[in-house]
Amino acid sequence: MDDTTRGEVLKRLAYIEGHLTGVRKMIEQDTYCVDVLKQTYAVRRAIEKMESKMLSGHVRGCVVDGIKSGDDGVLDELVDLYELANS
């Protein structure tokens, strides 16, 4: 991961960790389940955005390098990731 991507990803991760701390407090204070669930959905979406950042860096870095050097393994990995992301 290049430094810019890593910086952005860690920033998003800190936000996600903070969000989960908020979820923990909601559960401990017996907040209405439906409101807690809406927050955990938001956490999952935030994780997806972080994944998108990482994937973008990966595609522009390792995948481009791999293709240029004739390493087809990066392509298999990329398709596997797509399948895994939704499973």
Shortest reach from residue 63's CB to its own copies, in Å: 8
- For residue 8, state whether it binds its own copies (rule: CB under 8 A): no
CB of 4 to its own copies, least distance (A): 13
Nearer to its own copies, 4 or 85 (CB): 85
- How far apart are the C-alpha atoms of 23 and 36, rounded to whole Å? 6
8 Å CB contact between 14 and 7: no
Torsional sign, CA 63, 76, 56, 3: negative
Between CA 46 and CA 30 the distance in angstroms is 24
User: In 3D, which of 15, 11, 84, 19 has the Cα closest to residue 53?
Assistant: 11
Site size for its own copies (CB under 8 A): 53
- Tell me which of 4, 10, 18, 71 binds its own copies, using CB under 8 A: 10
Residues numbered 25-84 forming contacts with its own copies, rule: CB under 8 A: 27-28, 30, 32-34, 36-38, 40-41, 43-44, 47-48, 50-52, 54-64, 67-68, 72, 75, 77-79, 81-84
